[in-house]
Amino acid sequence: MTTNSWAEDNLNRKLIEPAELEGTIPRIRQGKTLVTLNGSFDLLHAGHLQILMEAKRQGDLLLMALNSDSSIQGYKGADRPIIPLKYRLQMMAALECVDHITWFDEEDPRMLLAKVKPDVHVNGAEYGKECLEAETVRQHGGRVHIVELVPGLSTSNIIAKIGALCAPSASLKTNPKAANFPGS
C-alpha cells in the first residue's frame, strides 16, 4: 500500500496526541490567542469550511479537536462516522486555516477544553451561547463564539439526500439506463 507523503507531512506537523496536549499547548501558545473548534467533521462540506474559517478569524492558533470514531458512534449511532478518524485527521491537517489537530474519545469535549483552556471556543448556532462547553470555557477565562449555519448543509442532510438519490425509484428518475443493470 502506498502512502500519501503530503498527508503524512501535514499530519505530523499539526497533530498533537491527546496525552501531549497539556505539555504542548503552553509551548505553542506563548502569548497567542488559542481558538478551539470540535466535532465529528465527517464528510467535509462547505458548512464545515465556513465554521473553520470563522474560527480561524477569532485568534492566532486554531486547534481542531475531532471526536473519535467510538465517540461519534456513541451519539450518532453505529453507522457513523462515514470517514474513519485517521482520514478525518488528514483532511483537517490539509487545511491551511487549521494550525493543530487532536482528537478525544469522550462524547463531549469538556475534559479536553479544561486541559487546553482556549481563549475562544467556536460552536455552531444550533448549540447557542449556552452550549454544554460554555461553562468550562468561561471557567478558564475564555469566551464562546457562535457561527451561523449554512442552511441545508449538514452531514446528516447530505447523507439523507444521497440516500434519497440512491433509492431505486430515484435512480430511475436520474438515470433511466440504471434499470438495465442487475442490482442497480
Looking at the 3D structure of the chain, how many domains does it have? 2
Same domain, 61 and 23: yes
Please tell me the distance from the alpha carbon of residue 121 to that of residue 144, in angstroms, as a whole number: 5
Please state the pTM of the whole predicted model: 0.83
Residues above pLDDT 70, as percent of the chain: 88
Q: Which of 128, 68, 123, 138 is nearest to 101 (CA)?
A: 68
Looking up residue 50, the CATH number of its domain turns out to be 3.40.50.620
Order the strands of the 61-67 sheet from edge to edge: 100-104, 61-67, 34-39, 120-124, 143-147
Q: Which domain holds residue 163?
A: 154-184
Same domain, 51 and 37: yes
Model confidence pLDDT, tens digit, residues 160-172: 888 888 887 654 4
pLDDT at 183: 39
Same domain, 67 and 86: yes
The chain-wide mean pLDDT, for the chain, equals 86
Please tell me the distance from the alpha carbon of residue 174 to that of residue 166, in angstroms, as a whole number: 10
Q: What is the mean pLDDT of the segment spanning 125-151?
A: 90
Same domain, 102 and 162: no
104 near 68, Cβ under 8 Å?
yes
Instruction: Provide the pLDDT confidence category of residue 9 given band limits of 50, 70 and 90.
Output: confident
Same domain, 78 and 126: yes
Task: Please determine, for residue 79, whether its predicted confidence score (pLDDT) is greater than 90.
Answer: no
Same domain, 87 and 122: yes
Task: Please determine, for residue 154, whether its predicted confidence score (pLDDT) is greater than 80.
Answer: no
Same domain, 96 and 75: yes
Same domain, 104 and 159: no
pLDDT at 29: 95
Task: Please determine, for residue 139, whether its predicted confidence score (pLDDT) is greater than 70.
Answer: yes
63 near 99, Cβ under 8 Å?
yes
Grid coordinates representing 142? 475564555
Same domain, 177 and 160: yes
Same domain, 137 and 172: no
pLDDT at 129: 84
Distances (CA, A) of 85 to 17, 42, 43, 88, 183: 13, 9, 11, 5, 31
Beta-carbon count within 10 A of 124 CB: 20
pLDDT at 170: 52
Same domain, 114 and 55: yes
Higher pLDDT, 30 or 127: 30
Its sign, for the CA torsion 21, 132, 55, 68, is: positive
* 3-state SS class at 35: strand
Q: Which of 68, 124, 127, 64 is nearest to 99 (CA)?
A: 64
67 near 38, Cβ under 8 Å?
yes
Same domain, 20 and 32: yes
pLDDT at 4: 64
